[in-house]
Amino acid sequence: MSAQQQLEDLLSEVAKGNRRALVSLYRATSARLYGVAYFILQDEAAAQETLQEVYLTLWEEAASARPNGLSPWTLLLGLTRDHAIAILRASHHDGALPLGIALNDIPATLAQAEPGRSAEGQLFAQALAQLSPDREEAIKLSYLQGWQYEDLARQGVADRAGMRLWLRKALSHLREALSQ
């Protein structure tokens, strides 16, 4: 049985209320998810809090939090990213993200966190590298760090509406590159 199938089976068992499956899922995934949370938050306590929220969400909403044909890692990494960004936003009074986040070493996709990095992740990284540096940076900040249009606009590249259009064009380019 493949690792992906094992995770799918564990998620299915968690949806049925199987506590042992939740423990097994935690053991199989927590180190990688902690790494993602820590990468975003740069704080051990906040990363641990993120993990608690992720597994609590899985336990409470496992029946509705299904991968729907996607890799279980996509679901788990997405939940982790969303919870980490919510914690990051909550730590700033105005809800905006700090503008000093270093862009170096931001992974091109969360798929890089999967074992062996998926073929889709490699294609995405190649397509992302074809964008102009500004658009690549905007995509990374928006989708990996959770920045909103306002956060990106404060960088001075474009106003809120312009940034929205800019991201839409960059995503369109990525879709085209991935469909080839």
More confidently predicted of 120 and 133: 133
Give the helix/strand (H/E) hosting 121.
helix 119-129
Predicted pLDDT of residue 140: 74
Mean pLDDT of 150-163: 74
Architecture of domain 1-91: Orthogonal Bundle (1.10)
For the chain, which residues make up each domain, given as ranges? 1-91, 98-180
C-alpha dihedral sign at 84, 90, 92, 97: positive
Predicted pLDDT of residue 41: 83
Among 42-46, 58-62, 112-116, whose mean pLDDT is lowest? 112-116
Q: Do domains 1-91 and 98-180 have the same CATH topology?
A: no
Residues 6+ apart with CB under 8 A from 58: 11, 14, 22, 25, 65, 79
> Could you tell me the pLDDT band of residue 68, with boundaries at 50, 70 and 90?
low
Predicted pLDDT of residue 54: 94
147 has pLDDT over 80: no
Alpha carbon distance 159, 175 (integer Å):
24
Global pTM?
A: 0.59
> Could you tell me the pLDDT band of residue 142, with boundaries at 50, 70 and 90?
confident
Predicted pLDDT of residue 90: 78
110 has pLDDT over 50: no
Predicted pLDDT of residue 50: 94
Q: Are 9 and 52 in contact (CB under 8 A)?
A: no
Q: What is the CATH number of domain 98-180?
A: 1.10.10.10
The proportion of the chain whose per-residue pLDDT surpasses 70, expressed as a percent, equals 72
Alpha carbon distance 149, 163 (integer Å):
6
